[in-house]
Amino acid sequence: MVKKLSLRLAHSLGKRLQADTDDVEVYAYGLEIMLCSLIKLVLLFSLAIILHLVWSTFLVLIAWSAFRVPGGGAHMESYRHCLSTGLIILLVLAALSTLDLSLSWQLTFLILTMILAITCIIRWVPAGTEKKQIIQTANRRKQKRETTVVLLLWFLSVACLITLGYSHTALPLILGAGGGLCLITPSGYRALGWLDQILFQVEGR
Amino acid sequence: MFGKMKLWSLSSLALLLIAVANTGIGTRCGVIAYEPDIPKKLKSEV
């Protein structure tokens, strides 16, 4: 549905700007990405408002995206799957982050996420897919550097928040980062692939 | 005047869409974890 709508809007835009077919395809692609993101954000925050999880959802999403943007990671085969799975994962992480964990547990999660992040950066970043692969060494190094900068900023923020006693803000950032990083690992790819298969079976395809 | 403004707005929108499309061809994925098919014109950039 989003694809059809994007194509229709792109054709209308292309007609007004007298663009060629190739340009219309690019507009449609850009529109599809924007609309898919917008729909997901609106649904995510609507559910977060209903569940009283707005702040923690926002923080989980910030940390999740901060690592996924430079690091890449697993994708699903259809937007419906991406939408449902993404919403569930982000809201579950947001709900878990409201738990009142002791300092030792928070530090344990922080260290484990750090180890996971360092492993991901060294071994898998930028994690591509069948459709998108970063092959050039210079580009791969660039994305590794960007992810390392994100890791340092994230660690400093979380360490400061824990030290200052804002653990209710630190935990969503830790869980969001952990969730995003898990999808950069081969196990994350396998898990999403497996979920894709199950969802296709449920849909009868 | 309004015609020019309309054309300017549409061109700006087209530029924005091209920019978004170019970020979409990388492995970068912020909010969505779904990949629309990459257009022919952008495939050479991947």
Task: Show the 3-state SS of A95-161.
Answer: HHCCCCCCHHHHHHHHHHHHHHHHHHHHHCCCECCCCCCCCCHHHHHHHHHHHHHHHHHHHHHHHHH
Instruction: Spell out a b/e string for A32-69, using b for 16 or more CB atoms within 10 Å of the CB, else e.
Output: bbbbbbebbeeebeebbeeeebeebbebbbebbbbbbb
A69 chain-B contacts, CB cut-off 8 A? 28-30
Residue carrying structure tokens 């002791």: A102
Of the three residues A50, A68, A83, the one that is the final residue of a domain is A50
CA distance A109 to A111: 6
Average pLDDT, chain B: 76
Q: Do A8 and A62 lie in a common domain?
A: no
**Whole-angstrom distance, CA of residue A106 vs CA of residue A49:** 26
Tally of domains in chain A? 2
DSSP per-residue string spanning chain B: -HHHHHHHHHHHHHHHHHHHHHHHTSS--SS--B-PPPPHHHHTT-
- Check whether residue A122 and residue A80 sit in a common domain: yes
Name the residue among B45, B29, B23 with its Cα closest to residue A135: B45
Q: Do A86 and B33 touch (CB under 8 A)?
A: yes
Residues of B in contact with A23 (CB under 8 A): 14, 41
Which pLDDT band, with edges at 50, 70 and 90, does B31 fall under?
Answer: low
**Domain check: are A56 and A140 in the same one?**
yes
- Which residue of B8, B9, B32 is the best one to mutate when testing the A interface, meaning the one whose CB has the most A CBs within 10 A? B32
Task: Specify the pTM.
Answer: 0.86
Which position has the higher pLDDT, A101 or A116?
A: A116
Determine whether the interchain pair A81/B41 forms a contact, defined as Cβ–Cβ distance below 8 Å.
no
Q: Identify whether residues A82 and A157 lie together within a single domain.
A: yes
Q: Let me know whether A111 and A163 are in one domain.
A: yes
| A99 lies in the same domain as A11 | no
Residue A11 has pLDDT above 60, yes or no: yes
Which domain covers residue A80, as residue numbers? 52-202
Contact B38 A132 (CB under 8 A): yes
**Band of pLDDT at residue B33, cut at 50, 70 and 90:** low
The verdict on A64 and A109 lying in the same domain is: yes
| A182 neighbourhood in chain B, CB within 8 Å | none
User: Would you say the ipTM is above 0.85?
Assistant: no
Q: Percent of chain A at pLDDT above 90?
A: 57
B4 touches chain A (CB under 8 A): no
Same domain, A34 and A62: no
Q: Please tell me whether residues A31 and A69 are part of one structural domain.
A: no
- The beta-carbon neighbor of B34 closest among A70, A75, A143 is A75
Which residue, chain included where needed, has tokens 């738990």? A99
A43 and A66 together in one domain: no
**Residues B12, B19: Cα–Cα separation, whole Å:** 11
- Partner-chain residue, chosen from A37, A126, A133, that has the shortest CB–CB distance to B32: A37
Is the CB of B34 less than 8 angstroms away from the CB of A31? no
Q: How far is B1 from chain A (nearest CA, A)?
A: 17
CB-CB under 8 Å, A13 with B14: yes
Q: How many CA atoms lie within 13 A of A136 on its CB side?
A: 8
- A107 and A20 share a domain? no
